Chains A and B, each alone.
Chain A
């Protein structure tokens, strides 16, 4: 099964909002409300930011939000801060009862 499609990079200035897309198929993103988003800073382990499309774990800033339409899920970060600069990965449950990730998006805060 192919990886989910994410833009390689996005950028924004402090205070702005950005959105990262994650496109799959009806066999994964479109078929289940089981999309998660992970943040990974260089040399660090990933951190769960959003699960089940739009749920935020305790301790994650409400500047992070998730949504889904059809086969595409999105992560929106509002009020960009320097500390948000990181790689972001989406993941989705699949019809094969496995999990696939997106290729990752590098967020640059200008």
Chain B
């Protein structure tokens, strides 16, 4: 059974940093691209970032480019999102999502975690 478990969320002040993690199991992690998708409270979905199976292809939404960095450790079956210079508008539930293919271009998500909540507030 595919499982994606996010962690690392919490309350953080504007301008500070936070690192999210996603532990994957139930599939061959290094065969697939992975993504982060967020959902602000009561709002719609927003793709944040994606990374190919071998980290050779990485993409970001314009709203986070230059502030967020996605990475993966295939040996640990883990996906990460380093978030710097956080803003109030980054407040959201952050989902880890598995792609159906290895390159993730275009992104298509067949499994999602339950999300980790990030709240940016002073």
Q: Which residues of A contact B62 (CB under 8 A)?
A: 1, 96, 98
Q: Which residues of B contact A82 (CB under 8 A)?
A: none
Q: Is A99 an interface residue (CB 8 A)?
A: yes
Residue pair A45, B59 in contact (C-beta under 8 Å): no
One of B9-17, B18-26, B80-88, B107-115 contacting the partner: B107-115
Q: Which residues of A contact B108 (CB under 8 A)?
A: 34, 36, 48, 51-52
Closest to A93 in B: B106
The interface size of chain A toward B, counting residues with CB under 8 Å, comes to 26
In the docked arrangement, what's the CA distance between A26 and B114, Å?
33
Residue pair B100, A51 in contact (C-beta under 8 Å): yes
Residue pair A32, B106 in contact (C-beta under 8 Å): yes
Chain A residues at the B interface, C-beta cutoff of 8 Å: 1, 3, 32, 34, 36, 38, 40, 45-48, 51-52, 57, 89, 91, 93, 96-104
Chain B residues at the A interface, C-beta cutoff of 8 Å: 37, 44-47, 50, 59-62, 95, 100, 105-110, 112-115
